[in-house]
Amino acid sequence: MMRGAFTLATLASVIFFPWPLTAVLMLVSSLVEPLVPLAAGIFTDTLYYTPKAGVLPFFTLFGALVTVVALLVRSRLRTGIIRG
């Protein structure tokens, strides 16, 4: 339930709310769903990115970075639990 709520809230914030809130939701949702930041980043750049307005699709890169970090943290936590 919480996973679905975070996922939907993050994707909806791309259209309904300012981008700083979207960035915060991407960080928060990465705790429960690591792929959501990447999805939200791609969604944001799909809607708003234009090559002339920016050198790189910043939100896709930010989402990918957060996703990678979240996956690494989760893998380390799982390993830690097994060892414990």
Partner 1 sequence: MKKIFSAKRNALLSSATISWGGGALALVLIILLVRFAAPNIFWRAFAPVFHAADTLALASHTFAASFGTAAALTLQNERLTSENSALASENQALSQKIVNISALSGFSVPQQHASGILAGVLAHPPVSPYDTLVLSAGSTAGVRKGMEVFGAGGVPLGVVETVLADFSRAVLFSAPGMSTYGWVGKASSPVTLVGEGAGTMSALMPRSANIIVGDSVFVPGPGMLPIGSVVRIDDEPSSPSVTLRIMLSQNIFSIPWVLVRDSGTALQGPLFSATSTLP
Cβ atoms of 19 and 51 within 8 Å: the answer is no
- 75 part of the interface to partner 1, by CB under 8 A: no
Angle at 22 between CA 73 and CA 12, to 5 degrees: 110
Q: Which is nearer to partner 1, 27 or 42 (CB)?
A: 42
Looking at beta carbons only, is 18 or 80 nearer to partner 1?
Answer: 18
Whose Cβ is closer to partner 1: residue 2's or residue 84's? Answer: 2
* Residues 66 and 37 sit within 8 Å (Cβ to Cβ): yes
Residue-by-residue DSSP string for 39-58 = HHHHHHHHHH--TTT-SS-H
Tell me the closest approach of the beta carbon of residue 83 to partner 1, in angstroms: 25
Residues that bind partner 1 (CB under 8 A): 3-4, 6-7, 11, 15-20, 33-36, 38-40, 42-44, 46-50, 52-55, 58-59
